[in-house]
């Protein structure tokens, strides 16, 4: 078994270098396809992060009656926090509301008119952040029944539209990734098929001298894996080289979005190495199969 393994690997190595032109062509195609896949994966990750960033902004805002006691407020907050739909609850006091209003007016370049008022007219409020924007209705109806609440802001229309848009975009992204994946699969498998086709004579001779299927198949499978690993290594090298200038360029983007570069690079590494090896192995397996089954 071990000698068979050594035999297959050394034959794969030999086969790769003795047919260098074909091997390099296959590796180049593999590399380009893996880059396409990785590039798209990264874009998709950024895209999904942007969607969650937007969705995170959806919250149910409820104005409180003036003079609600601290105890009632705390009770309301704790009951909200235990709801499964709720991510976080924030209390905004009357003073904070006024400050926010002033800051907003200033940012818009408009005069601060609040100085003319004797009293702070803005109500205190609570902002409930949701785990999923679709759940706004449950939280809204809960808040409406509470007697500390003066009014729950109606976000039905905006949220419904947002949810339908994000759902569409998510589905579209997944479909697109699937299509790209299928294209990559076909192109890589066909390239390997061509490389194997160029060695049809060698396979024919092996068959005729009585090589068993395993002896014919495994060297090609290892060679396919070699092409895949080499393609993956080149792809990762290029990505690492590109990461520094790119992240410098997109630093603002990454600061805003809830996106972790660590988890993305881990995912992309797994994707590139896995897809490269897998495609190489599967491509070689199915290509050699054509010659084995008679």
Partner 1 sequence: METGFPAGLSAANGYGVFDTRRAVLVLEDVTKTYPNGRDALRDVDLVVPEGDFVFLVGASGAGKSTLMKLLIRDELPTQGTVTLDGDDVARLPRRKVPMVRRKIGIVFQDFKLLPRKTVRENIAFALEVTGTSRRRIRPAVDRVLSLVGLTRQAEQYPHQLSGGEQQRTAIARALVHDPKIVIADEPTGNLDPLISWEILQLLLRINELGVTVLMATHDADVVTALRKRVVALEEGRVIRDEIGGGYHRTG
Which residues bind to partner 1, rule: CB under 8 A?
3-4, 7, 11, 18-19, 201-202, 204-213, 215-216, 294
Beta-strand ranges (E) seen in 175-275 are none
Main-chain phi, psi angles of 250, to 5 degrees? -105, 25
The smaller minimum CB distance to partner 1, of residues 74 and 290, is found at 290
CB 101 within 8 A of CB 114: yes
What are the start-end ranges of the H helices in the chain?
2-18, 20-56, 70-81, 94-107, 136-144, 156-197, 200-208, 213-249, 251-256, 261-292
User: Residue 89 pairs with which residues in a beta bridge?
Assistant: 128
Q: Which of 177, 181, 196 is nearest to 281 (CA)?
A: 196
CB of 22 to partner 1, least distance (A): 12
**Residue 187 or 206 with smaller CB distance to partner 1:** 206
Of 11 and 102, the one with the shorter C-beta distance to partner 1 is 11
Q: Cβ 292 to partner 1, closest distance in Å?
A: 9
CA distance 227 to 175: 28
- Strand order across the beta sheet in which 59-64 lies: 86-92, 125-130, 59-64, 149-152
By C-beta, is 18 or 156 nearer to partner 1? 18
Residue whose CB is less far from partner 1, 19 or 265:
19
Nearer to partner 1, 151 or 207 (CB): 207
Cα 228 to Cα 30: distance, rounded to the nearest angstrom: 7
Give the rounded distance of the alpha carbon of 224 from its chain centre.
Answer: 28
Measured in whole angstroms, how far is the alpha carbon of residue 99 from the centre of its chain? Answer: 38
CA distance 226 to 111: 69
**Cβ distance 285 to 224 under 8 Å?**
yes
Q: How far is the CB of 9 from partner 1 (least distance, A)?
A: 13
The smaller minimum CB distance to partner 1, of residues 219 and 283, is found at 219
CA distance 84 to 265: 32
């Amino acid at each position: 078994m071990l000698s068979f393994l050594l035999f297959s690997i050394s034959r794969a190595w030999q086969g790769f270098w003795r047919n260098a032109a074909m091997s390099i062509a296959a590796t180049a195609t593999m590399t380009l396809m893996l880059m396409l896949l990785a590039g798209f994966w990264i874009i998709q990750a950024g895209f999904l992060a942007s969607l969650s960033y937007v969705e995170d902004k959806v919250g149910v805002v409820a104005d409180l009656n003036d003079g609600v006691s601290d105890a009632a407020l705390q009770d309301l907050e704790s009951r909200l926090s235990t709801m499964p739909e709720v991510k976080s609850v924030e209390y905004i006091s009357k003073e904070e509301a006024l400050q926010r209003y002033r800051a907003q007016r200033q940012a818009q370049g408009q005069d601060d008119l609040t100085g003319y008022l004797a009293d702070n007219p803005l109500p205190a409020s609570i902002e409930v952040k949701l785990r999923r924007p679709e759940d706004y209705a449950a939280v809204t109806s809960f808040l409406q029944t509470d007697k500390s609440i003066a009014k729950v802001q109606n976000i039905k229309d905006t949220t419904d539209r947002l949810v339908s848009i994000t759902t569409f975009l998510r589905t579209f992204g997944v479909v697109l990734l699937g299509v790209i994946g299928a294209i990559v699969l076909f192109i890589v498998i066909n390239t390997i098929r061509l490389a194997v086709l160029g060695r049809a004579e060698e396979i024919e001779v092996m068959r005729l001298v009585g090589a068993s299927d395993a002896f014919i198949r495994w060297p090609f499978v290892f060679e396919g894996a070699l092409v895949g690993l080499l393609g993956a290594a080149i792809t990762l090298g290029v990505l690492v080289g590109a990461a520094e200038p790119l992240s410098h360029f997109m630093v603002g983007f990454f600061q805003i979005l809830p996106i972790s570069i660590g988890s993305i690079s881990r995912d992309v590494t797994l994707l590139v190495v896995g897809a490269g090896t897998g495609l190489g192995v599967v491509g070689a397996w199915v290509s050699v199969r054509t010659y084995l089954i008679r």
